[in-house]
Amino acid sequence: MMRLEFESQDPSRCRTCESHVTLQFRRSYGDDNDVAHRCTECDTYERLSNGSAAGKVVDLPDPITDPSRFNCGFEVPSSVAGDDGGEVDG
């Protein structure tokens, strides 16, 4: 059976950070349309296992709002970080 995607966003990308996600990950953790709303680049395995990749609200600390909950060196993706009015180097 061929799956038809009607969304303009690339289904092989995480909806939050736009990192590549495999079809196997999307089928295992994603929503009913095999879309990943979160992935291992922007969320923890515990939250992913509880449904965050499927777009469900999970009652665990979110690493995007509290990066210290993720891992050493995690940076909040610029696509989801709030604009604090600061300047970007470069």
Instruction: Please list, in sequence order, all residues whose beta carbon lies within 8 angstroms of the beta carbon of residue 26, skipping any fewer than 6 positions away.
Output: 11, 12, 34, 35, 36
Flag whether the pTM goes above 0.75.
no
Split at pLDDT 50, 70, 90, the class of 10 is confident
The 10s digit of each residue's pLDDT in 27-73 is: 999 999 999 999 999 999 999 999 999 999 999 999 888 777 665 55
Residue found under tokens 């038809």: 4
Give yes or no for residue 8 having a pLDDT over 50. Answer: no
Measured distance CA(24)–CA(73) in Å, rounded:
27
What's the gap between Cα 71 and its chain centre? Answer: 15
The predicted-structure confidence for 62-79, as pLDDT tens digits, reads as follows 988 877 766 555 555 555
- Please tell me the predicted confidence (pLDDT) of residue 3: 45
State the CB neighbour count (10 A cutoff) for residue 34. 19
